[in-house]
Structure 1
Amino acid sequence: MKKLTLSTLALIVSASTMAVSGHVNAYQAESNQASEQTDNVEQKFQSYVEQLRKEALEQGYTQDTLDRAFAKVKYYQRAVELDKNQPEFKLTLDTYLPRAVPDWKAQKAVEKYQEHKELLDEIGEKYGVQPRFIVALWGIETNFGSYTGGFDVVSALTTLAFDGRREAFFKKQLWQALTIIQDGHIDPEQMKGSWAGAMGQTQFMPSSFMSYAVDYDNDGKKDIWNSYGDVFASAANYLSSVGWRDDVTWGRQVQLPEQFDTSLAGLDTKKGLAEWQKLGITRMDGSPLPQRDDIEASVVIPDDKEGRVYLAYANYDALMRWNRSHYFVAAVGYLSDRIRFPR
């Protein structure tokens, strides 16, 4: 075996040191560049905030409102990343529903329904919305108020407006968030929500808050963060305002005949239950559909004919106004059924 001389060893150590040094220098250069880019974004963001403040003053917001709302405004890189890379779930309803509505959540929904039954019944009667749907929405949106999001809403909306891809939309939401603050419904530091600015236990965007939030407990604030009365009534008011019916359910899972024409599927096609039955659609157990002439429904196939298929009633359409996702609506409907028929 050939021995290394001291001079050869020194050359090897020197080369290794130079290589390591090169890597370190490259890393430091990249790090410095990233830091400069971050500083540049922060400077541009703060300039944008100043521009927004001037514009808001011109629109009639008070200096006090703006000072409070923007006192700790910050740029959320995470909000931009989430907005650009919203996940596409490669699931079917059969795999999604057990995740969205596990047994523990269904049990908790029944417990919450019983805990707030008097208040829920009162609100349900006033707005014409079955209480089980209020609880189901509450459970799916924020796990019954236990997770409403930790983002500062003003910062999140300002960040997404600054990002520029949907500036007009997020600026509109920001102005309405400022109105909510100026009207005294919530202090800015308590105005927490999702990365996109959805707020409180109902996860209302500011525009939905302005249109549908309710001060049910009459304390002068529409508090969808802390007041059960305001939370439940706001959800019920939303549903009532978009065509909810309290005399029907949301829909039902059905069986299609072998040769069903799938071009008839979709919420734009409405037929009476008798018409769908003539086309061979039955309940899951093969029995006839309900004999009601006052119900029109659509066939909804979220995955394919081999997966779950629903007859969607008017309340399905109302839930789609809340969140335009068939999976979301199916989860809310499924949880409402678990409350109605606890196991």
Structure 2
Amino acid sequence: MIIRYLLFITLVLISCISNDSYAQIDQSAVNDFIRNVAFQQKRPLKEVEAIINQAEYQSDIIEKMSRPAEKTMTWERYRNIFMKQERIEAGVDFWVTNEKVLNDVSTLTGVSIEAILGVIGVETYFGQRMGNYRVLDALYTLAFGYPRRSSFFKAELSKYLELCEKEGLDPLTIKGSYAGAMGYGQFMPSSYLAYAKSYDSESGADLVNQADDAIASVANYLKVHRWEKGGLVAVEVKKSQNAASLAKQKVKPANSVDYYIQKGYEPKETINSSELASLQVMDKEDGSEEYWMTFKNFYVITRYNHSPLYALAVFQLGEAIKSARYPE
């Protein structure tokens, strides 16, 4: 009886392991997707089928999507990932190597060099860490194995195939993040198609291999989302002992600086009191908090990644690189 019970348990476990790899994928949904893409992009059915049939389901991607760092870490832990001396030095090196491109792009778009460097530095360590997953596998896994956002990732998978066809990229070899983002700036396929720019305008935009195109594209993304030339991003705030308790503030600025001052939150820098701002509270490991007054350009950075932690890390990394290159 015990042997039969153990055999049953073993079979159940084997079934669960098998299901972990295959049961999440509805092949009929995959076939429908292939037919739709072939029709919409006017491509041979067999061509699309040949690509999708080589995609592999990656179960660990589902786990990572369910536990993004921005939602599981304190601000202090998150910040410490990026604000390391070696990353700051890598940013200075990247700036020196790409100085002409950065100057040209910043002048053309109005986006600060620090913001461009901050994004690329946080996203991929200046191109050193672009991701270890095949983009095809990541998007396939999420399109057909992550029901909560299936529609979004099916659309991104379709855009990925369109992008590879347009730019002459090999869909089977490009690597990126577990979410399917790629290149220096970790653009999703739809963003790649919408915002990618070629720096020299003489060829397609290659954000995977060409740093100059990546710089132009990151700046273009921020510009299109209404980056304000010379505008503030964030300023640390001192909270007075009798400061009013505030409900969680939206990232988009809605109140004046003066409003927050009257509530007991004093900026550590002199700022126009009529400037629109928001107040972001950042938690530390010891349970204490940091307070940051954030502005329109901070909100623009959150259009790249909606997490306030991300936006503040981009800001601080860019500022640290600038300070390291041009110490006072």
TM-score, normalized by length of structure 1?
A: 0.82
Paired position in structure 2 for 1:282: 266
CA contact (8 A) 2:196 2:207 kept: yes
CA contact (8 A) 2:70 2:307 kept: no
Paired AA for residue 142 in structure 1: T
The answer to whether the aligner puts 1:301 opposite 2:284 as a matched pair is: no
Rounded to whole Å, the distance in 1 between the matches of 2:67 and 2:279 is: 31
Paired position in structure 2 for 1:205: 188
Paired AA for residue 302 in structure 1: M
* 1:167 equivalent among 116, 127, 150: 150
Rounded to whole Å, the distance in 1 between the matches of 2:236 and 2:160 is: 39
CA contact (8 A) 2:253 2:299 kept: no
Paired position in structure 2 for 1:10: none
Q: 1:84 to 1:341 in 2, by over 3 A?
A: closer
Paired AA for residue 87 in structure 2: K
The answer to whether the aligner puts 1:96 opposite 2:78 as a matched pair is: yes
Matches within 5 A, 1:140-179: 140-163=122-145, 164-179=147-162
How many matched pairs? 320
Paired AA for residue 263 in structure 1: L
Rounded to whole Å, the distance in 2 between the matches of 1:34 and 1:279 is: 55
Matches within 5 A, 1:22-101: 25=7, 29-30=11-12, 32-34=14-16, 36-37=18-19, 41=23, 44-63=25-44, 66=48, 69-70=51-52, 72-86=54-68, 91-101=73-83
Q: Secondary structure at the match of 1:316?
A: helix
Q: Which runs of 5+ in 2 are unaligned?
A: none
TM-score, normalized by length of structure 2?
A: 0.85
Rounded to whole Å, the distance in 2 between the matches of 1:246 and 1:56 is: 40
CA contact (8 A) 2:244 2:264 kept: no
The answer to whether the aligner puts 1:313 opposite 2:295 as a matched pair is: yes
Q: 1:154 to 1:92 in 2, by over 3 A?
A: closer
**1:264, distance to aligned residue in structure 2 (A):** 6.7
CA contact (8 A) 2:111 2:227 kept: yes
Paired position in structure 1 for 2:254: 270
CA contact (8 A) 2:267 2:293 kept: no
Paired AA for residue 168 in structure 1: S
**1:282, distance to aligned residue in structure 2 (A):** 3.0
Rounded to whole Å, the distance in 2 between the matches of 1:36 and 1:103 is: 45
CA contact (8 A) 2:140 2:157 kept: yes
